[in-house]
């Protein structure tokens, strides 16, 4: 039985062939490396479809500001002997070739060691939800720097990426694991000395998970924060810090951020809009709400008027019914009075007719 026969499709492979392949593949289970898992940190990015474009935009903006904060990324390439002929201006082509070789070498090293990259896209199993894993120690600082700069310069640098939320740590999305992780994680921020209280609020978002709810996470976090310092207080309008809890499938992501509402909930598009537009939008929303309230008031008034009209019509109908049945005494008295007047007029006319010939004879 030659391989050419199998290529031509003249005969099928025997069952023993597939059994051998199955035995050989035992113990070699494939493991997904780039998945969202506990024990990592990074950035959670939301988008409205166009995930590939959003990933590219996020890479660009993160690399730009990370280079400003931490310097350019070192990929392990030896830079000591890379510029041996840099002083010779005549060999420009050789320099270009060396630069290309250096870049290719760096790309190969990144492919060999993907875990050493500064930023790396992670599979989240959630639609329109991107996670960029990072090796940086403080992703909250990077995100706050990006949003603050965009808010100051009013320059839009993304089109598809909407929100950029820093994630300082992840754990399993079970209530016990979240409680144990939050006690250790929140101690850095809320473990203030006695007499120093912070205003805070908690924002919880749950995706692709039905086992954990907001009603169980919020009281637990409030209890933990109060135990750390009783002077910490809730402030939903203008808090000092905001605790972000993002549950995606079986993983819970958590971070503590500043200026959350001032930076438009870390929205890369909304933060670049001028304040006049934001105020106009708020005014329009208020007007719409007031118009809705006025319409509701008008509807209530109209309903009351219709009820009154219905009651009046019902009363008139009852009066008519009473008249037909002869039950209303006032209406009967009025009719009797009219009949008396008519009878008196007839009697007067008859007397005039009788007395008129007597007057003529005289």
**Confidence at residue 307, expressed as pLDDT on a 0 to 100 scale:** 52
Give tens-digit pLDDT for 183-196. 999 999 999 998 89
Give tens-digit pLDDT for 305-322. 555 555 555 555 554 544
Where does the pLDDT of residue 78 fall: very low under 50, low under 70, confident under 90, or very high at 90 and above? very low
Average pLDDT over residues 55-73: 94
Most confident of 70-79, 241-250, 331-340: 241-250
**Confidence at residue 96, expressed as pLDDT on a 0 to 100 scale:** 77
Percent of the chain whose predicted confidence (pLDDT) is above 70: 65
| CA nearest to 123, candidates 62, 237, 42 | 42
Query: Looking at the predicted structure, is the pLDDT value of residue 32 above 60?
Result: no
Give tens-digit pLDDT for 134-153. 999 999 999 999 999 999 99
Q: What would the two tokens of residue 199 be? A: 């205003």
**Confidence at residue 269, expressed as pLDDT on a 0 to 100 scale:** 96
Nearest-angstrom CA–CA distance, 183 and 220:
10
Count Cβ atoms within 10 A of the Cβ of residue 240 and give its class: 0-12 exposed, 13-18 middle, 19 or more buried.
middle
**Confidence at residue 215, expressed as pLDDT on a 0 to 100 scale:** 94
Instruction: Give, in order, the Cα–Cα distances in Å from 286 to each of 5, 80, 172.
Output: 77, 63, 41
- Note the Cα 208 to chain centre separation in Å: 14
- Residue listed under structure tokens 């494939």: 30
Query: Looking at the predicted structure, is the pLDDT value of residue 235 above 70?
Result: yes
**Confidence at residue 77, expressed as pLDDT on a 0 to 100 scale:** 40
- Could you tell me the domains of the chain? 42-78+92-273 (3.30.2130.30)
Average pLDDT over residues 166-193: 96
**Confidence at residue 359, expressed as pLDDT on a 0 to 100 scale:** 47
129 within 8 A of 163, measured Cβ to Cβ: no
Nearest-angstrom CA–CA distance, 211 and 60:
36
Mapped to the 3 state alphabet, what secondary structure does the chain carry?
A: CCHHHHHHCCCCCCHHHHHHHHHHCCCCCCCCCCECCCCCCEEEEEECCCHHHHHHHHHHHHHHHHHHHHCCCCCCCCCCCCCCCCCCCCCHHHHHHHHHHHHHHHHHHHHHCHHHCCEEEEECCCCCEEEEEECCCCHHHHHHHHHHHHHHHCCCCCCCEEEEEEECEEEECCHHHHHHHHHHHHHHHHCCCCCCCCEEEEEEEEECCCCCCHHHHHHHHHHHHHHHCCCCEECCCCCCEEEEEEEECCEEEEEEEECCCCCHHHECCHHHCCHHHHHHHHHHHHHHHHHHHHHHHHHHHHHHHHHHHHHHHHHHHHHHHHHHHCCCHHHHHHHHHHHHHHHHHHHHHHHHHHHHHHHHHC
Give tens-digit pLDDT for 254-308. 999 999 999 999 999 999 998 766 555 454 455 555 555 555 555 655 555 555 5
pTM: 0.63
Query: Looking at the predicted structure, is the pLDDT value of residue 13 above 50?
Result: yes
Average pLDDT over residues 62-79: 78
Query: Looking at the predicted structure, is the pLDDT value of residue 74 above 80?
Result: no
Query: Looking at the predicted structure, is the pLDDT value of residue 72 above 90?
Result: no
**Confidence at residue 107, expressed as pLDDT on a 0 to 100 scale:** 67
Give tens-digit pLDDT for 86-112. 444 445 667 777 777 777 776 666 665
Mean pLDDT check: name the lowest of 7-11, 106-110, 233-237, 258-262.
Answer: 7-11
Where does the pLDDT of residue 82 fall: very low under 50, low under 70, confident under 90, or very high at 90 and above? very low
């Amino acid at each position: 039985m030659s391989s050419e026969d199998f290529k031509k499709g003249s005969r099928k492979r025997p069952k023993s062939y597939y059994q051998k392949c199955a035995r050989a593949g035992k113990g070699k289970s494939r493991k997904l490396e780039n998945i969202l898992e506990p024990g990592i940190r990074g950035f959670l990015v939301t988008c409205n479809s166009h995930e590939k474009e959003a990933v590219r935009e996020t890479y660009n903006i993160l690399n730009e500001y990370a280079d400003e904060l931490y310097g350019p990324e070192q990929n392990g390439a030896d830079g000591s002997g890379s510029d041996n002929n840099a002083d010779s201006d005549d060999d420009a082509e050789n320099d270009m070739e060396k630069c290309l070789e250096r870049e290719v070498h760096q790309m190969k090293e990144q492919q060999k060691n993907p875990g050493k990259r500064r930023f790396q896209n992670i599979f989240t199993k959630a639609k329109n939800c991107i996670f960029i894993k990072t090796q940086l120690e403080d992703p909250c600082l990077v995100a706050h720097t990006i949003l603050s700069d965009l808010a100051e310069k009013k320059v839009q640098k993304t089109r598809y990426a909407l929100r950029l939320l820093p994630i300082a740590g992840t754990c399993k999305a079970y209530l016990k694991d979240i409680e144990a992780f939050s006690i250790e994680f929140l101690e850095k921020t809320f473990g203030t000395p006695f007499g120093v209280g912070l205003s805070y609020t908690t924002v919880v978002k749950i995706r692709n998970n039905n086992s954990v709810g907001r009603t169980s996470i919020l009281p637990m976090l409030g209890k933990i924060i109060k135990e750390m310092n009783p002077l910490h207080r809730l402030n939903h309008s203008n808090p000092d810090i905001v605790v972000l809890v993002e549950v995606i499938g079986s993983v819970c992501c958590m971070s503590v951020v500043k200026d959350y509402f001032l930076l438009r909930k870390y929205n890369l598009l909304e933060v670049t809009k001028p304040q006049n537009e934001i105020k106009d939008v708020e005014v329009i929303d208020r007007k719409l709400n007031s118009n809705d309230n006025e319409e509701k008031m008008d509807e209530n008034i109209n309903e009351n008027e219709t009820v009154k009209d219905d009651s009046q019509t019902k009363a008139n109908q009852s009066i008519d019914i009473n008249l037909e049945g002869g039950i209303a005494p006032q209406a009967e008295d009025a009719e009797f009075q009219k009949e008396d007047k008519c009878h008196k007029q007839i009697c007067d006319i008859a007397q005039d007719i009788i007395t008129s010939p007597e007057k003529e004879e005289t």
